[in-house]
Structure 1
Amino acid sequence: MSLKAKLRLSNPWTQNFISGIILAMTVGIYLAILGLGAGGAQPSSAHVTTTAYATLYAVFTFTGFFGGSIMNTIGPRLTMALGTAGYSMFVGGLWYFDLSGHSWFALLGGVILGISAGLLWTVAGYIQFAYAEEKDKGSYIAWQLFLLSVGCALGALVVFLITKDITTLSGVPTSVYVTFIVIMASSLVVSFFCILPSEKIVREDGTRLAHFSATDFRTEIKECLMLLKDIRVVLLIVPMAATEMSSALIPTLTAHAFNLRTRSLSALINWTIQIPATLLFGLVLDNKRYARRIRGTMGLTISFVIVLIGWGLALSFQIKYGIKRDVESPAWDWTSTPYVAYFFVIFFTGIAYAIDQMMVMWVMSSLSNEPKLLARYGGFFKGMLSAGLAIAFGQEAGGVSYLGQTLTQTIMQVVSFPVMFYLVLKYVSDTNYFAEEGVIPPQEIQESAAKGNFGAVQDGATIEDGTDKAVTDFEEVVRN
């Protein structure tokens, strides 16, 4: 297929790529500031910024939970545009607080961003979950997170270049805030002109995603609440909450222990290492030589090992160097001996953050192909991630020791893996992907079904015995 056809706006891959670009322009820049600790301000301001973050994620938990219902009602374009709007306002609030010392705008910005971020992430999750075929779900997740990591790395690079000669505990200059606000505001334009309605999305083989029908908001809310009756979704709550929490703690440790230019360098390293990590891990999850259940088990094993290494190093660093909130900051520079050890903390926790989040997304996306359900999954997923961050920032705002926070997050992540291994081994298979009501299979599967080979659904898999109902549903989809 020609490059022009590949990049047409209605191509699912193109929509996923654009979604990643929007994430880079908004969330990427936001996370670049978050990675500095204290919202880019002086470490002494950490309490106010942490409270703003805790407020943000508490609101985000609620809006994320119902984000799928909103998107299914007003569509992905408007939902995405509304979702981008709060980021520049939040950064503006941090900027105002850094200049004036007045916290009200930063706290208000946290509430507004909590609302809009839930909408943004719902659409992003929906696109990566629902637009990809089963064989491509790992790569769709990887591309979004790859582009997000690029945005984070570029944002961190901007900060680093501006602050590389600042060896004090100061906050970032005004030019950083202005640059970031302009980039974030531009994402609103991209959303309006480039995100298409789902019914206009056409695969490369000419087939569409599903038969779309209008639903009212009351029905959507009811269906969203029904997620809590799905044991698979309920079991994923702890893994979802745990996977994002390190993005609060690691920057906090960095802000406490190091000067500004070292904070900037650490953020740059953290986000840069995630760029290759996401792409390489996506290759594992989409490796066609293995069945999906085996791929999932391989991915979980790799992720589990990296998580153990990363959090083990974080614990040992705090114990060895006595990192405590009630001890005055040593204001180490990157030339200091402790930074050699901290480099490996940043390196492995950065990789762990990226691939563990990918793993949770992959497991959740494997549970269905039905677009409207996946929209609810996407919103619920980000809502639970936000709940985890609300807990993390709440611990920090409440004065919980750094070691206590690290132990809490380590235990939550370690407990998550047996749960995900269970879900992969019990619920992930290579059969009946397109038997759900209204879902249109790709052309190659329709052709296979037309020849009577209903077993050749994906990757050479065969429909197992005892699935007559699923086969009947699939035949009905093909005939219609």
Structure 2
Amino acid sequence: MRINSPLGQVLLVGFVCFACPGMFNVINGMGAGGQMDDNTAKNGNVALYSCFAVFGCLGGGFYNILGGRLCLCLGGLTYALYSGSLLYYNETKKPAFVIIASAILGVGAGILWTAQGVVMMSYPAEDQKGRCVGLFWILFNLGGVMGAFIPFGLNFHSDKGAVSNSTYLAFLVIMILGALLGLILLPPGKVIRDDGSRVVVKKFTNIGAPTGSTPIQFGAVNGVLFNLRTRSLNNALYWGSQMLGAYGLGAFLDNPRFGRRARAVYGLAIVGAIFSATWAGGLALQLQYTREDHPSNIDFIDHPSEFWPKFILYIFYGMCDAMLQTYAYWVMGALSNDSSVLARYAGYYKGIQSAGAAIAWRIDAVGTAFLTQLIINWGLFTLSLPFTYFVAREVKETCNDGAEEKGEVADKE
């Protein structure tokens, strides 16, 4: 594999996201950022995703000015700042720095995911987009898998509810290294596809920010039911299930046995069926406890009968999340090969998603019942299915209409 191939560049960005957003997901997945005071982390997430919603839509302008390398590096360093703020909180119990660092992370993550979106959706050829999305998601979530074993190992014999300083130091170092890795991203004009054509990336003004994980998964299940070492183990396998979901659906969406429109419709049916079944399982679990009265400190060794049903549901939550993201990116990539058009699609999709995440974390922070949160999530997902079907019907067999002819290449790096 050539480093100057689209796949090589997608994998490079995947390693950056492995180290930066991947490690952030580990922290978030432990429930309340691993902290005993979960309101600090929840309010931080509100600040974070509020900034996502704004700066995700402005990310294209930053990309035009800074280029992909600096977007990845500077955006990645804001993840390290966030991890450092949690280390500071662990020592002082003062929440202000966490909230400020979360807001700065919202800005930086919007910039980082702008570069990620350009590379993942614009660089690959049409018949490789599903594969590239799936491989990126595998690398990205591999960060979550490996990173989750850090607190699992460091806190295996700990009875404390909060994560140790050594855990945050490990995350901090990994995030800094990942941010620096972004500096070796190639300019678009130096990326050559297998057919010899060069990647064309036009300047644009709008692209997205990353997805916010829903509080119902992290807060209402993993964050409140299990002890720290079990939360960490669940976290690792949650991101592992995302790798399986992304790879499996990505392979199907690139399967030449079906036309692209058929793959879009069948893919939606697969995602809808698995997601609905998982939400039904979540409802069955949620009816067993409330925010005020719930099991706690369940351990995967000491309480196996209580652990396994909840663990399996949590794994399906992870798989569904990755399948949804893979499907969304593939459909957007199948609607056009024009980077400026894809930027607008991604910006609307991710901007709305980040705003929704900010609202979701705020709903959780004010103490809304877990059951109410689940019903809202399931209802909104179900409501989206018919609208997504109409979009899937618009997918054409090819978008090669001259959009990739030779022209001005944005080599700003």
What range describes the TM-score normalised by the shorter chain of this pair? over 0.9
1:7 aligns with 2:5: no
CA distance in 2, matches of 1:343, 1:329: 14
CA distance in 2, matches of 1:262, 1:121: 30
Tell me the CA shift for residue 165 of structure 1: 2.7
Post-superposition CA distance 1:339-397 (Å, at most 9, x none): 22201211211110110111111112222111233234444433232112112111111
Q: Which one has a bigger Cα radius of gyration?
A: 1
Amino acid at match of 1:264: S
Q: Residue 383 of structure 2 corresponds to which residue in structure 1?
A: 415
Q: Residue 47 of structure 1 corresponds to which residue in structure 2?
A: 39
1:159 aligns with 2:125: no
| Secondary structure of 2:162 counterpart | coil
Tell me the CA shift for residue 200 of structure 1: 2.1
Tell me the CA shift for residue 89 of structure 1: 0.4
Q: Residue 20 of structure 1 corresponds to which residue in structure 2?
A: 14
Once the two structures are superposed, the pairs formed by residues 51-450 of structure 1 within 5 Å of their partners are 51-166=43-158, 168=159, 170-192=161-183, 194-210=184-200, 220-221=204-205, 224=206, 244=211, 246-253=213-220, 254-320=222-288, 322=289, 324-327=290-293, 330-334=296-300, 335-336=302-303, 337-425=305-393, 427-436=394-403, 439-440=404-405
- Equivalent pairs counted in the alignment come to 403
CA distance in 2, matches of 1:432, 1:148: 28
Tell me the CA shift for residue 27 of structure 1: 0.6
CA distance in 1, matches of 2:235, 2:214: 11
CA distance in 1, matches of 2:78, 2:309: 37
Q: TM-score, normalised by structure 1?
A: 0.80
> Is contact 2:334–2:399 with CA below 8 Å preserved after alignment?
no
Structure 2: gaps of 5 or more residues? 407-413
Post-superposition CA distance 1:391-415 (Å, at most 9, x none): 2111111211111111111111122
Post-superposition CA distance 1:143-162 (Å, at most 9, x none): 11110110100001122122
1:32 aligns with 2:23: no
> Is contact 2:6–2:124 with CA below 8 Å preserved after alignment?
yes
Post-superposition CA distance 1:3-46 (Å, at most 9, x none): xxx323x211111110000000001100011110010112xx11
Structure 1 vs Structure 2: percent identity of aligned residues? 30
> Is contact 1:145–1:354 with CA below 8 Å preserved after alignment?
yes
Tell me the CA shift for residue 123 of structure 1: 1.0
Q: TM-score, normalised by structure 2?
A: 0.92
Tell me which stretches of 4 or more aligned residues in structure 1 moved more than 6 Å. none
Tell me the CA shift for residue 99 of structure 1: 1.9
Post-superposition CA distance 1:319-352 (Å, at most 9, x none): 12x1x22236532222323222201211211110
Q: What's the C-alpha RMSD, in Å, of the aligned pairs?
A: 2.0
> Is contact 2:244–2:319 with CA below 8 Å preserved after alignment?
no
Post-superposition CA distance 1:214-251 (Å, at most 9, x none): x6xxxx55xx4xx9xxxxxxxxxxxx99x956543211
CA distance in 1, matches of 2:398, 2:254: 16
Tell me the CA shift for residue 138 of structure 1: 0.6
CA distance in 1, matches of 2:278, 2:260: 27
CA distance in 2, matches of 1:384, 1:123: 18
CA distance in 1, matches of 2:91, 2:148: 21
Mean Cα displacement is larger for which, 362-371 or 65-74?
65-74
Q: Residue 233 of structure 1 corresponds to which residue in structure 2?
A: none
